[in-house]
């Protein structure tokens, strides 16, 4: 009785595992998801890119991240948090017109990209507290 159920059960779950993902499928995974991009992006009413980058760095430090890379010309900061788990994230800052800056963050939790809006919302909340500006949603 047990064997009769056990074998199909194992077969089904194994076939699901096979369908999960091949190694190469991760190379170009994701991409052009409008929804993801909008949850990862906020606009701020300032044109001071360097101050924004410094504030991003300070916020990341407040959240327990260590800065892996920072580039003031391109406007990118990459940082890692280790706290029993690993989060690696990149934040980019670029101009949007004359008066606004677009800040985009993308993060990996251990081996998986974070695609849930809440962590990004939390990050931008922390960032707007630090820079004393409101984070606007962008389309």
Partner 1 sequence: MKKAFYLCFILLFLVACSPTIPKDAFVLSPTSLEDRQLQSRKFATLDRTVLLAAGAAVLQDMGYAIDESNASLGVLTASKQADATSGAQIAGAVLVALIGGGSMPIDKEQKIRICLVVNENLSDSESSIARITFQRIVWNTQGQISRVETLKEPELYQGFFEKLSKSAFLEAHQI
The angle formed by the CA atoms of residues 70, 34 and 60, to the nearest 5 degrees, is 25
In contact, 126 and 63? CB cutoff 8 Å: yes
Of the candidates 10, 26, 95, 99, which one interacts with partner 1 according to CB under 8 A?
Answer: 10
Shortest Å, Cβ 112 to partner 1: 6
Provide φ and ψ at 67, rounded to 5°: -80, 120
Please report whether residue 43 would count as binding partner 1 according to CB under 8 A: no
Least distance (Å) between residue 46 CB and partner 1: 15
| Terminal-residue alpha carbon distance, the chain | 56
The count of other CB atoms within 10 Å of the CB of residue 123 is 23
Q: Does 27 bind partner 1 (CB under 8 A)?
A: no
- Residues in binding contact with partner 1, number by CB under 8 A: 50
Supply 119's token pair. Answer: 């962590």
Contact residues toward partner 1 (CB under 8 A) are: 1-2, 5-6, 9-10, 12-13, 16-17, 20, 50, 53-54, 57-58, 61-72, 77, 80-87, 109-110, 112, 114, 116, 118-120, 122-123, 125-126, 129
């Amino acid at each position: 009785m047990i064997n009769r159920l056990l074998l199909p059960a194992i077969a089904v779950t194994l076939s699901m595992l096979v369908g999960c993902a091949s190694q190469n499928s991760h190379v170009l995974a994701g991409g052009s998801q409008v929804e993801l991009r909008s949850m990862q992006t906020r606009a701020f009413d300032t044109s001071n890119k360097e101050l924004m980058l410094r504030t991003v760095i300070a916020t990341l430090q407040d959240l327990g991240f260590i800065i892996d890379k920072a580039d003031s010309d391109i406007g990118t900061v990459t940082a890692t948090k280790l706290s029993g788990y690993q989060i690696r994230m990149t934040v980019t800052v670029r101009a949007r017109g004359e008066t606004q800056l677009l800040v985009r963050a993308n993060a990996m939790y251990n081996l998986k990209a974070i695609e849930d809006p809440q962590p990004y919302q939390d990050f931008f909340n922390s960032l707007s507290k630090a820079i004393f500006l409101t984070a606007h949603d962008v389309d």
